[in-house]
Structure 1
Amino acid sequence: MTSDSLVNSSNASLKDTCSPEAQHMSLAVILCLVYLLGLLLNGFSLWVFTCRIHKWNSGAVLQFNLALSDAIITPLTPLMAAYFAMDSNWIFGNFACQLKIAVLSIHFKGSVVFLTLISIHRYITVVHFKRPSLMKRKTFVKKLCAGIWCFLIIIGIAYGWMLPVTTEENHGQCLTIHQTTLIDAYFVLNFVTFFFWCILPLTISVFCYSRLASSISRINRNSVQGQLVKTKSLRMIGICLVIFGLCFLPLNVVRTLGVVMKKYHPERCRVLLQLETAYYACYILAGINCCLDPLIYFFGSRNFIKAFRSSLRVIGIKRTAENKIESDTLSVNRNVIFTVS
C-alpha cells in the first residue's frame, strides 16, 4: 500500500469518527424553563391532592401518581443543562450518570403507564359505568400503583447499571449515541422501550378514548349537565392524545432512528449529530408533558376542580386581608405623623 493510500485511509478514518459536539445553549435554557414550569404546576397539583382533597377516589389516586412521576425529574434537570453548557462533556461521575438514567427511566415510563391507566379508568367508569370493576376500587388502585412504582424502580436501576459513563474523544458521555461500546445495549433497550412504553400504551389509549368518544357522543345535548360532561370528556381525550402524539412519540421515533443509524451506518457522522440534536429537542418536547398533565386533573376530577377553586379563594382572601392590614397600618402611621406634627 502506498503512502498516499495510507494518508487517504487515515483521513477517511478520521472523517468517519463521530466526535461529540457542543449543543446550542438555547437547549439548556429552554430545558430549565420547561421543567421549572412543570415543577410549579405539578408541585401545586400535589399540594391540592394532599392538602385540599380529603376524600380520594380511584381516579384521584392515579392522577396523584402521575403528578408524582412528573415531579421527580426536576431535581436532575440542572445536570442536563450543565451537560449542554459544558460542550456535551459529562463531568459528574458514573454514579450521577446512572442516577440520572434511572430517574429518567422512572419519569418517562411512569408518566406513560399512569396516563394509560387513566385512559383505562376513564373508559371503564364512563363506558361500563354499570359493571363492577377492580379499577373502580380505591384499595386495588393503590396496591396497583405501589406495584408499578416497585417495577419502575427495578427497571430504572437496571437501565442505570447497564449504561455507565464512557469516554469518547476525551469527552465523558452519559446516555448518548457516541458510546460505541454500548450501542448493542442501546439498540435492544430502545426497541423494548419503543414497543412496551410507546406503541402498546398508545394503542390502548387510542382504543379507550375512541370508545369513550363514541359513548359520550350519545349524551343528550339538551341537558346542561350532559353537555358539561361531554365537553370536559372531549377536552380530556384531546389532551391525553396530544401528550402521547406530541410529547412521547417523536422522542421514541428519533431515538430509534439514532440507534439504528449508529449501529448500521456509524460513518454517517453529520446525520448522527443532527439526530442527536433532534433527540435533545424532542426530549425538551417530552418535558412539556409535565406542563400538560395538570390539565388532565382539571378536566378529569370534580374534586380537583373544587379544591383548586377553593385554594384560589383562600389565597385571594389571604391577600385581601394582608392588603387591608397594610392599608390600615399606613393609615395609622399617617394619623400618628399628623398628630405629632
Structure 2
Amino acid sequence: MNVTNVTGQADGSCQVEPQHMFVPVVVCLVLMLGLFLNIFSMWVFWCRTPQWKAGTVLQFHLAISDVIVCPLAPLIVVYFVQEQQQILTRPICWLKIILITVHFYGSILFLTLISIHRYVSVVYHSQDSRMKQKDFVQKLCLAVWVAMLLNGMLSAFLLDSNSTTENITLCSAFHLGQNTDLYFAFNFIIIVLGFLIPFTVLVVCYSRLVRSVSGISVCHQKGKLIKSKSRKMVTICLVIFGLCFMPTNVIRIVTIVVKKWFPNKCTILLHVETAYYVAWIFSLVNCCLDPLIYCFASQKFTKALRSSLRKIGVGVRTARQDIEQDSGLTTHIDPAAGTIKRETMAFTDTL
C-alpha cells in the first residue's frame, strides 16, 4: 500500500505525488475504532469466557487478525504528514505489506471457517464432526497463520522496495518497476485461493443454513429468536465479504492488468489507484464489523458481554428478558418435521 498519486513526465513514465490527507484520516479513525472493539472482544473471550469451544477459538483468532493491522495507523499518519520523506524504509515496507496481507486474507479465511463451523453446528447439530473439535480447529488456525505469513512474505518480496524515486520508497503494485509478470501470476493465484474459493464456500454454507432454518413453520418465540439470529449472522458475513473484501480484490486485478499492459497510461493508473484506496478503506471496515459476528454466533459471548456491560451500568436487562433470550437459543429446529423441539444440547453452546 502506498500513498501516492501518479502524473505523467516528459519521458512517458509516471511521477509520484502525495495523496490527499483524507485517506490517512479515515484510515486512522477506522483502525482506532477497530482496535477498541477487537481489544474489548478479546478481553471478553479471554477473561469472561472460561470454557472455550471450537467456535470460540475461531472467533478469537479472527479478532487477532483484525488487531494486528491497527498499529499501522500512526505510521500512515506520519508518512502522509512528512510527505513520504525518508519515512518508509525497506524493513518498514516489508512489515507493512506483511501485516496488511496477513490481516486481509487471514480475516477472509477465519470468516470462512466460522461459516463452515456454524453450518455444521446448526444443520448437523446431532452428528459428530471434526469442526466441532477444539483441538482440530486449533490446528486449522495454526495452518491459516502459517499460510498467511508465507503469503505476506512472498507479497513483500515481489513488491519489495524496488520502486524508489530519489528519497521516496514505494511499496505498491502501482509503481512496481520489476517482477511485474511474476506478481501478475501470483496475484491471480492468491485471489482464487484467498478469496474466490472461500467466498464460494461461505455462500454455499449460508444458503443451505438459511434454507434449513427458513423452511420451518415457527409459531413460538423461541423459533423466531433462532431464525432472527441466524439471519443476522448470514447478513453481516455477506456484507463483510461484499463491502470489505470483494471491491479490493476486483480493483487489484484491474490494477495489475493496467500496470502490465498500459504502464505509461498515467491518467488511467491514477483513477485506478484512487479507486483502490477507497476500496482499501472499506476493506479495513471489517475490523469494526467482525465483532458483530461474535454476538450473533455465540451465546456464551453475548452473555459474557451483557455481564460485563452490567458492571459498568450499560445495557442492563431484566432477569425475565435474559431467561427468554437464553431459552430461545436453547432449542433446535427439525427441518424435516417442520417443528421446534428441545434438546439437551444448547443451540449455540457448540459455537
1:296 paired residue number: 293
Moved over 6 A (4+): none
Q: Secondary structure at the match of 2:19?
A: coil
Q: Secondary structure at the match of 2:169?
A: strand
1:313 paired residue number: 310
Could you tell me the percent identity over the aligned residues? 47
- Maintained 8 Å contact 2:173/2:255: no
2:55 equivalent to 1:63:
no
2:95 paired residue number: 99
Q: Which moved more, 1:144-153 or 1:110-119?
A: 144-153
Q: Could you give the per-residue CA deviations for residues 53-72 of structure 1, whole angstroms, max 9, x where no partner exists?
A: 01111111111110110001
Q: Secondary structure at the match of 1:160?
A: helix
2:185 paired residue number: 188
Give the unaligned 5+ runs of structure 1: 1-11, 318-341
1:150 paired residue number: 146
2:267 paired residue number: 270
- Maintained 8 Å contact 2:158/2:183: no
2:78 paired residue number: 82
Letter in 2 for 1:272: L
2:207 equivalent to 1:210:
yes
- For 1:88 and 1:216, locate their aligned partners in 2 and report how far apart those are by CA, in whole Å: 53
Q: Which moved more, 1:195-204 or 1:80-89?
A: 80-89
Q: Could you give the per-residue CA deviations for residues 234-280 of structure 1, whole angstroms, max 9, x where no partner exists?
A: 00000000000000000011111011001001121111011111111
2:134 paired residue number: 138
- Maintained 8 Å contact 1:19/1:178: no
Give the unaligned 5+ runs of structure 2: 1-7, 315-351
The 1:158/1:185 distance shift into structure 2, 3 A limit, reads same
Q: Could you give the per-residue CA deviations for residues 164-218 of structure 1, whole angstroms, max 9, x where no partner exists?
A: 1134443321124112213223312221221111111111101111001100102
Q: Could you give the per-residue CA deviations for residues 17-38 of structure 1, whole angstroms, max 9, x where no partner exists?
A: 1112211101110000000000
RMSD of aligned residue pairs (Cα, Å): 1.8
The 1:271/1:85 distance shift into structure 2, 3 A limit, reads farther
Greater share of helix residues, 1 or 2?
1
1:178 maps to which of 163, 175, 188: 175
Number of residues paired by the alignment?
306
The 1:80/1:132 distance shift into structure 2, 3 A limit, reads same
- For 2:79 and 2:9, locate their aligned partners in 1 and report how far apart those are by CA, in whole Å: 27
- For 1:174 and 1:89, locate their aligned partners in 2 and report how far apart those are by CA, in whole Å: 14
Which has the higher Rg, Structure 1 or Structure 2? Answer: 1
Q: Secondary structure at the match of 2:138?
A: helix
2:120 paired residue number: 124
1:229 paired residue number: 226
Q: Could you give the per-residue CA deviations for residues 81-132 of structure 1, whole angstroms, max 9, x where no partner exists?
A: 3334444566331111111111111111110000000111111111122221
Letter in 2 for 1:48: V
2:45 maps to which of 40, 46, 49: 49
TM-score normalized by structure 1? 0.85
Q: Which moved more, 1:135-144 or 1:207-216?
A: 135-144
2:349 paired residue number: none
- Maintained 8 Å contact 1:187/1:259: yes
Q: CA deviation at 1:221?
A: 1.9
TM-score normalized by structure 2? 0.83
1:201 paired residue number: 198
Q: Secondary structure at the match of 2:296?
A: helix
- Maintained 8 Å contact 1:219/1:227: no
Q: CA deviation at 1:157?
A: 2.4
- For 1:167 and 1:54, locate their aligned partners in 2 and report how far apart those are by CA, in whole Å: 50
1:336 paired residue number: none
Letter in 2 for 1:250: P
2:109 equivalent to 1:113:
yes
- Maintained 8 Å contact 1:22/1:86: no
- For 1:150 and 1:53, locate their aligned partners in 2 and report how far apart those are by CA, in whole Å: 26
- For 2:76 and 2:252, locate their aligned partners in 1 and report how far apart those are by CA, in whole Å: 17
1:160 paired residue number: 156
- Maintained 8 Å contact 1:16/1:266: no
- For 2:199 and 2:184, locate their aligned partners in 1 and report how far apart those are by CA, in whole Å: 21
